[in-house]
Amino acid sequence: MMDWTDRHCRYFHRLLTKNTLLYTEMVTTGALLHGDVVRHLRFNDEEHPVALQLGGSEPADLARAAKLAEEWGYDEVNLNCGCPSERVQRGAFGACLMAEAPLVADCVKAMQDVVSLPVTVKHRIGIDKSESYEFVRDFVGALYSAGCRVFLVHARSAWLKGLSPKENREIPPLRYEFVYQLKRDFPDCTIVLNGGVKSNDEIETHLAHVDGVMLGREAYHNPWIMTEWDARFLGGGATALSRDELEAQMIEYMQRVCHKEKSERDGLMYPSAYSVARHMLGLRHGQAGARAWKQKWSDKQQFRQHFEALFPEQLVA
């Protein structure tokens, strides 16, 4: 979810569900240790509970990054061992780490040694065209021995050569039974299933076998699906806001955050209203008039014309 689940996206999603655990986009250790920490780690208080997802393969660097996560107030730190992109592979992290379970175990242990936060791992069921359940079982077993107890499992293998990231989300077959079996083999672990889930009924089916379900692109493109989660799965109350009320709250947030950050610049990146609005384009997914509404928010010219009274032009551009 690189460039998708930034803090503005997470603020919007928190309006839809109060209790769901939200994850950041993946942040590399290099970006944190040698780049703009504030830009990568700042988030809204309303986002809790929120987990920082890290990309890296050096135990010492991951330990330093995990310590930053704790200092900034995140609720969990997650190591990504599932991203299949070639860019990530060139950095020797992401899904290719599944071939190096002892190294990943060292990374987990290094992070656990310096923070009190839960240290979790997101991974695939295999790499390349492996059909073996034993591969993912042994990978999880190595991390279990290092003290990890929470695994977010994308139920597809990652084909590291020949497929784009998009194709890696569609072509390798889904094997939910592998994730179910992990829960049976590691009953004291929290096993969260990811991959291909598109409805709340499907979530309910999977929860009969595992402890949790993670949604990415479906939740982004059809965010209204999240309004049922608190009441249906998480023991909370139903979301009371209408779509119109959610839109009004996001307009207020855009205005507030853009003006606040512009006044505080001091070299920091500050958003345009458009860069915030892009995350709610799916709010009226499947509704009458959704196409015209989405165009109003996604076309920069229409956006500027419609909202110039709310936003000075320099904040819209």
Fill in the DSSP letter of residue 158: E
83 classed as catalytic: yes
pLDDT of res. 257 = 82
pLDDT of res. 91 = 56
Backbone dihedral region for residue 35 (phi beyond 0: left; psi -120 to 50: alpha; all else: beta):
beta
Paired tokens of 18: 């109060």
Domains of the chain are 7-233 (3.20.20.70), 243-316 (no CATH)
Paired tokens of 54: 């890290």
Mean pLDDT of 244-265: 79
Q: CA–CA separation, 77 vs 155, rounded Å?
A: 21
pLDDT of res. 308 = 63
**pLDDT tens-digit map of 178-210:** 999 999 999 999 999 999 999 999 999 999 999
Q: How far is residue 41 from each of residues 37, 52, 77, 239, measured CA to CA in Å?
A: 6, 8, 12, 28
**pLDDT tens-digit map of 44-100:** 999 999 999 999 999 999 999 999 999 999 999 999 998 876 655 555 678 889 999
Paired tokens of 130: 């492996």
Q: CA–CA separation, 213 vs 202, rounded Å?
A: 10
pLDDT of res. 187 = 98
**pLDDT tens-digit map of 204-249:** 999 999 999 999 999 999 999 999 999 999 998 888 899 999 999 9
In the predicted structure, residue 315 carries a pLDDT above the cut 60: no
- Residue ranges of alpha helices (H) inside 46-187 are 59-72, 86-90, 101-112, 133-145, 165-168, 176-185
- Residue-averaged pLDDT of the chain: 88
Q: CA–CA separation, 182 vs 232, rounded Å?
A: 25
* Torsion sign across C-alpha atoms 96, 98, 99, 105: positive
In the predicted structure, residue 104 carries a pLDDT above the cut 60: yes
The catalytic residue among 83, 107, 148, 258 is 83
